[in-house]
Structure 1
Amino acid sequence: MVLIIRERATLEQVELMLQTLRVYIKVAVDIERGILAGGGEKHAFCEAALLEDGSKQRDIWGADWTPFNQSIAYESIINIRPSQNNRSMVIQDPAIKERVKKITQELIGGYEPEFR
Structure 2
Amino acid sequence: MIIIIRERATLEQVEQMLETLRVYIKVVVDIERGILAGGGEKHAWCEALLLEDGSRQRDIWGANWTPFNQSIDYESIINIRPSQNNRSMIIQDPTIKERVKQITEELIGGYQIDFR
With normalisation by structure 1, the TM-score equals: 0.99
Tell me, in whole angstroms, the C-alpha distance in 2 between the residues paired with 1:41 and 1:110. Answer: 22
Q: CA deviation at 1:115?
A: 1.7
SS in 2 for 1:92: coil
Over 4 Å off, 4+ runs = none
1:1-116 equivalences in 2 (<5 Å): 1-116=1-116
Q: CA deviation at 1:113?
A: 1.7
Question: Structure 1, residues 37-80: CA drift from partner, whole Å, max 9, x if none?
Answer: 00000000000010010000100000000000000000000000
Segments of 5+ residues of structure 2 without an aligned counterpart are none
Question: Structure 1, residues 17-49: CA drift from partner, whole Å, max 9, x if none?
Answer: 000000000000000000000000000000001
Q: CA deviation at 1:114?
A: 2.2
Question: Structure 1, residues 62-109: CA drift from partner, whole Å, max 9, x if none?
Answer: 000000000000000000000000000000000000000000000000
Tell me, in whole angstroms, the C-alpha distance in 1 between the residues paired with 2:114 and 2:48. Answer: 29
Letter in 1 for 2:54: G
With normalisation by structure 2, the TM-score equals: 0.99
Letter in 2 for 1:88: S
Tell me, in whole angstroms, the C-alpha distance in 2 between the residues paired with 1:9 and 1:38. Answer: 11
Same amino acid, percent of matched pairs? 85
Letter in 2 for 1:102: Q
Count the aligned residue pairs.
116
Segments of 5+ residues of structure 1 without an aligned counterpart are none
